[in-house]
């Protein structure tokens, strides 16, 4: 980051808030017009804070709808978004699963809804702590999906997401996810941007051009999402969802660049963020809150002379295949660290499966070692992450696999009680 940008950042005030509160402030800054809400741990404080804003008159004109379930919450934002408004909600774990039908609907109807997800492990056994299986299980719905690794990123990513989703060539909904409790209920300084500056980056609706997507209006009647025969264009509408996802990659990069220009904070190319990958022998791909701590682990090991690096995966959908291939060409061995499960798949970890598929058939890319850790909020310490890196270094140098491999995957940090 240049010195000019540093000066620019330091001039602005930051407040110490929880990750959930940062998400609520982002929705306020984005001037969302309809919020529908139903509480579920660990997301609850997002919608609590927003109800406070609306109640205190800090969000004039915003409709706050209390619903009776997550399914209804998503149905409400689908309806509100079709009416042309900027909509927001938040949910977690079981709530996502309950809303699954409407999640498919929102993507099929191509509505630019942004939802913040404080990820938690699916039950049973009952679990409310960080685990990205909930949001990753919505992989094939057509929603875009990104991971945040710190509080500021939650605020920033929600602003960027609206800009990407509402592009008339994209028109897709998006999940902005972060680890439950680890980010949602801990506090860190977050810079809340001036409303004027945010309005410049993300103009409030409707803009001069009108609403960003095709909206309901009694003066211009039309029918939404009606039945379509197999011989008609259903198949083609599905292709268009995939096409929009793929085209969104360029838009995400463009918006990340524009964001950096206005607000001075860099998020790599928007899709991935590399850290010490040049001149490294061994690297890891990691996402969510653990990526932040991994930066420290990489820095520490670099200090000890190990040539290690990392790639922070910011977007899971659209999947940054091309960028990951480029990154995988830089190293010989790549550990892919999941805090989520894909039972019965090749590796057991959803992202490691994707990475393996992405690198397949490209010569000169790294070998992949799948790693799973921290499921259901299990603590992953800095020491453990350094140990993971060292295991990779050892495997790379000696060809000796770590001894606790299970079905070809390193399940790191399993309990061993003596």
Partner 1 sequence: MSESKKWKKINKSVKERPKVQEYRNWKELSPIPISLPIEGNMGITGDWRTFRPIIKEGCNKCGICWIYCPEGVIKRKEDGSFEINLTYCKGCGICAKECPTNNIEMVRESDIKDD
Binding site for partner 1 (CB under 8 A): 108-111, 168-169, 171, 209-211, 213-215, 219-229, 233, 236-237, 239-240
Report how far residue 230's alpha carbon sits from residue 272's, in angstroms, rounded to the nearest whole number.
38
d(CA 284, CA 389): 8
Q: Pick between residue 167 and residue 354 the one whose CB is nearest to partner 1.
A: 167
Q: How far is the CB of 204 from partner 1 (least distance, A)?
A: 18
Q: Phi and psi (nearest 5°) for 272?
A: -135, 160
Q: Which residue's CB is nearer to partner 1, number 53 or number 215? A: 215
Q: Which is nearer to partner 1, 222 or 415 (CB)?
A: 222
Residue number, 65 or 216, with CB nearest to partner 1: 216
We find the least distance from the C-beta atom of residue 366 to partner 1, in angstroms, to be 37
> Would you state the structure tokens that stand for residue 283, as one six-digit string?
């690297």
* Spatial contact of 190 and 151, defined as CB atoms under 8 Å apart: yes
Cβ at position 170, least distance to partner 1 in Å = 9
Min separation Cβ 235 and partner 1, Å? 8
Cα-based distances in Å from 15 to 18, 22, 151, 158, 242: 10, 10, 11, 18, 39
Q: Least distance from C-beta 104 to partner 1, angstroms?
A: 13
Q: Which residue is associated with the tokens 């900027």?
A: 86
Task: Write down how long the chain is.
Answer: 418
| DSSP symbols for 177-208 | EEETTTTTTSEEEEEPPPHHHHHHHSPPSSBT
Q: Which is nearer to partner 1, 143 or 147 (CB)?
A: 143
Cβ atoms 371, 337 nearer than 8 A: yes
Q: How far apart are CA 289 and CA 278, in angstroms?
A: 23
User: What separation, in Å, do the N-terminal and C-terminal C-alpha atoms of the chain show?
Assistant: 49
Match 């070809």 to its residue by tokens. 408
Q: How far is the CB of 80 from partner 1 (least distance, A)?
A: 15
Q: Quickly tell me which residue has 């001036």 as its tokens.
A: 194
Say how far apart CA 338 and CA 253 lie, in whole Å. 24
Nearer residue to partner 1 within complex by CB, 55 or 243: 243
For residues 165 and 353, which CB has a smaller minimum distance to partner 1 in the complex?
165
Taking the complex as a whole, how short is the minimal distance between the CB of residue 237 and partner 1, in angstroms?
5
The nearer residue to partner 1, 1 or 239, going by C-beta atoms, is 239
Residue 229 CB, shortest distance to partner 1, in Å, is: 8
The neighbour count for residue 329, using CB atoms within 10 Å, is 13
Q: Give the strand pairing for 87-91 and 114-119.
A: parallel
């Amino acid at each position: 980051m240049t010195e000019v940008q540093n000066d620019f950042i330091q001039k602005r005030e930051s407040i110490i808030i929880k990750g959930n509160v940062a998400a609520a402030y982002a929705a306020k800054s984005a001037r969302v017009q309809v919020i529908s809400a139903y509480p579920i741990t660990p997301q609850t404080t997002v919608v609590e804070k927003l109800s406070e804003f609306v109640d205190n008159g800090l969000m004039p004109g915003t409709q706050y709808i209390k619903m009776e379930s997550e399914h209804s919450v998503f149905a409400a934002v689908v309806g509100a978004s079709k009416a042309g408004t900027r909509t927001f909600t938040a949910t977690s774990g079981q709530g996502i699963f309950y809303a699954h039908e409407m999640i498919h609907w929102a993507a099929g109807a191509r509505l630019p809804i942004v939802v913040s997800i404080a990820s938690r492990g699916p039950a049973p056994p009952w679990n409310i702590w960080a685990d990205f299986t909930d949001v990753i299980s919505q992989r094939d719905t057509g929603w875009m999906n990104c991971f945040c690794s710190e509080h500021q990123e939650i605020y920033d990513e929600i602003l960027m997401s609206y800009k990407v989703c509402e592009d008339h060539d994209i028109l897709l909904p998006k999940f902005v996810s972060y680890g439950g409790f680890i980010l949602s209920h801990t506090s860190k300084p977050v810079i809340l941007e001036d409303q004027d500056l945010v309005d410049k980056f993300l103009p409030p609706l409707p803009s001069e051009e009108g609403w960003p997507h095709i909206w309901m209006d009694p003066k211009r009647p039309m029918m939404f999402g009606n039945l379509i025969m197999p011989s008609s264009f259903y198949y083609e509408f599905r292709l268009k969802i995939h096409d929009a996802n793929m085209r969104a990659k360029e838009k995400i990069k463009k918006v990340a660049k524009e964001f950096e220009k206005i607000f001075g904070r860099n998020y790599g190319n928007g899709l991935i963020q590399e850290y010490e990958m040049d001149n490294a022998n061994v690297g890891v791909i990691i996402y969510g809150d653990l990526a932040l701590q991994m930066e420290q682990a990489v820095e520490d090991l670099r200090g000890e002379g190990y040539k290690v690096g990392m790639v922070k995966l910011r977007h899971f959908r659209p999947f940054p295949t091309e960028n990951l291939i480029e990154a995988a060409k830089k190293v010989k061995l790549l550990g892919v660290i999941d805090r989520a499960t894909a039972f019965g798949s090749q590796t057991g970890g959803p992202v490691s499966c994707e990475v393996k598929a992405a690198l397949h058939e490209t010569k000169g890319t790294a070998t992949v070692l799948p790693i799973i850790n921290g499921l259901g909020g299990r603590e992953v310490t800095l020491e453990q992450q350094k140990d993971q890196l060292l295991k990779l270094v050892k495997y790379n140098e000696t060809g000796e696999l770590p001894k606790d491999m299970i079905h070809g995957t390193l399940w790191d940090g399993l309990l061993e009680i003596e």
